[in-house]
Amino acid sequence: MATLAEPETASALDEFRASVRAWLAENFPPALKGKDNAMSAVEGPAELSPEEAAWKKAMGEKGWGVPTWPSEYGGGGLGRAEAKVLAEEMARIGAWNPIGGMGVMMFGPTLLEYGSEEQKREHIPAIARGEVRWCQGYSEPNAGSDLANLQTFAEDMGDHYLVNGQKTWTSGGQWADKCFCLVRTDKSQKQGGISFLLIDMNAPGVEVKPIRMISGMSPFCETFFTDVKVPKSDRVGEEGQGWTIGKRLLQHERTNLSGAGARLMPGGPSLADLAKTYVGTDKDGLIADRELRARITRFEMDWRAFLLTAMRVQAESKAAGGVSEVSSILKTIGTKLGQERSELIIEIAGLQGLGWEGEGFTREEITATRAWLFGKATTIYGGSTEIQNNVIAKRILGMLDHQ
C-alpha cells in the first residue's frame, strides 16, 4: 500500500480543515443530520431517499468513505491526521459515513496488502464507492473456533477450481454480491492446505439460507456451494497462503468490531443527552439521577481512554508493518464497552426501552432495543472473547498452554 504523506505544518492542516468544512457544507444534506442507522449493516440494503443517495454518491466519488486508502484505487488518499480532521468535521455537523460493510472493514485492507494489481483495480474502487456488497466465508458447522478444520474443498480443474462444501454464519450472505472465502485446496495439510478465493454469490451452485435470530432479524446465513466454478484469477495470494491472509483479515475485523476503527463515539445522541430526555434534569441542569450520572461519566471516561489507547496501538502497529495480535485486546475491551453502552441506553429509556414495534415507540427506541439484542453477538463473532483471551495469553504474553 502506498505510503501516505502527512501535512508538515499546523497551518496546512488548518487549510485542509477549511476545505473539508466547505465541501461538507456543499454536499451533506442538513436533513440527514444524525440520521445514520446503526443497524444498517445487518438489516440489508434499504431504498435510499434522494438525499441519502446523493450523499453516498458524493462521498464515494470523493473517496472519503475510505479516507486513508490510496487514491489510485478510489480512496481518499488522506494521511492519519487529515482523516482525523475529516471525522471531527463530520461529527461536528452530525454527518455520517454512508460507505461501509465488510468490503471496507475487512476485505479491502487485506486485498490492498495481498492482492494482485489486477485484483486491486477490479475490486477496490467499487468498494470505495459502496457499489458492491461482500460477505465472509470462513466458519463452517465443524470449523468455527477451530477454523483450520474447515472442509469446503476447491478441486483444481486446470484454469479454475470447482468448490463444494458449506459455510455458516455468513453475515449478510443473502444480500451479498461477492464472498471472500477460505477453502481447502490440499487435504494432506491443515493450515498449509488452505487458500483464499473470491466467489461470485450469483454463480450457479451457490445457495443461501438465512438464519432467524432472537432479535427477529436474519443477518446470518448458511451458504452451500455445489460444483461452483471459480477462476484461478480469483484466488488471492498463492495456493496454500490462505491461512496467512485469513489471519490478517481477522485482525482488521477485530479492530473494527471493537469500535476502534470508528475513532469517535458511536452514532446517535450521547448517553447524557438521552438521560436528560428520559430521566430529566435537576435545578442545575444536570441529569436528575445522581447514580446514573456517575455511571455515564465512568463509561465516557472508559470509552475515551479506550479510543486513545486504540489510536496509539494502531499507530504503533502501522509503524511496525501493519495490524498485530493487539487487535485481540482491542476486540475484547471494545465489544465489552459496546455492550455496556447498549445496556445503559435501555436502562435510561425505561419502559420505552422495551419497544419492538408499534406506534407507542419511536424509530430510535425500536432500533435501540434491536441493537441491544444484536450486540450480544459481538463478544462471540469475529472470534469469541475466550478465543481472544487465548490469543492474548499465547501470542502477546508468551504463556504456555498449562499456565
Q: Which of the pair, 4 or 211, is modelled with greater confidence?
A: 211
Q: Is 253 a catalytic residue?
A: yes
The stretch 193-219 carries a mean pLDDT of 89
Which grid cell is 52?
A: 441519502
**Lowest model confidence (mean pLDDT) among 42-51, 90-99, 101-110, 312-321:** 312-321
Bridge partners, 281 (sequence order): 287
Rounded to 5°, angle at Cα 109 from 107 and 113 = 110
For CA atoms 284, 287, 291, 293, the dihedral sign is negative
Q: Hunting for cell 442538513 — which residue is that? A: 30
Average pLDDT rounded to a whole number, residues 97-108: 92
The residue-averaged pLDDT of 139-143 equals 90
What is the spatial distance between Cα 323 and Cα 254, in angstroms, rounded to a whole number? 10
> What's the chain's average pLDDT?
88
Alpha carbons 396 and 35: distance in angstroms, whole number: 40
Q: What is the mean pLDDT of residues 259-277?
A: 69
SS3 percent helix, strand, coil of the chain, rounded to 5, is 50, 15, 35
pLDDT for 74-102, tens place per residue?
999 998 889 989 988 998 888 989 998 89
Burial of 128 (0-12, 13-18, 19+ CB in 10 A): buried
* pLDDT-above-70 percentage for the chain: 90
**Helix (H/G/I), strand (E/B), else coil: 325:** coil
Residue 265 has a pLDDT of: 42
Please say whether the beta carbons of 182 and 168 come within 8 A: no
Highest mean pLDDT among 18-22, 44-48, 314-318: 18-22
Q: Give the alpha-carbon dihedral of 5, 6, 7, 10, to 10 degrees.
A: -170
**Left, alpha or beta for 158 (phi > 0: left; psi -120 to 50: alpha)?**
left
Neighbouring C-beta atoms of residue 396, cutoff 10 Å = 13
- Pick from 289, 274, 261, 271: which is nearest to 341 by CA? 271
- How much is the pLDDT for 128? 97
How does strand 134-137 pair with strand 178-184? parallel
pLDDT by residue (tens digit) across 213-248? 766 777 789 999 999 999 999 999 999 999 999 988
Task: With H, G, I as helix, E, B as strand and everything else as coil, classify residue 171.
Answer: coil
Q: Is pLDDT at 165 greater than 50 in this prediction?
A: yes
List 140, 253, 364, 365, catalytic entry = 253
pLDDT of 290: 94
CA 91/CA 271 separation, integer angstroms: 16
What was the pLDDT predicted at 37? 66
- Closest by CA to 108, choosing from 68, 138, 160, is 68
Stretch (H or E) spanning 196 = strand 194-200
Q: How confident is the model at residue 278 (pLDDT cuts 50, 70, 90)?
A: very high
Confidence of residue 157 (pLDDT cuts 50, 70, 90): very high
**pLDDT reading at 201 higher than 80:** yes
Whole-prediction pTM: 0.77
Q: Using 50, 70 and 90 to split pLDDT, how confident is the model at 266?
A: very low
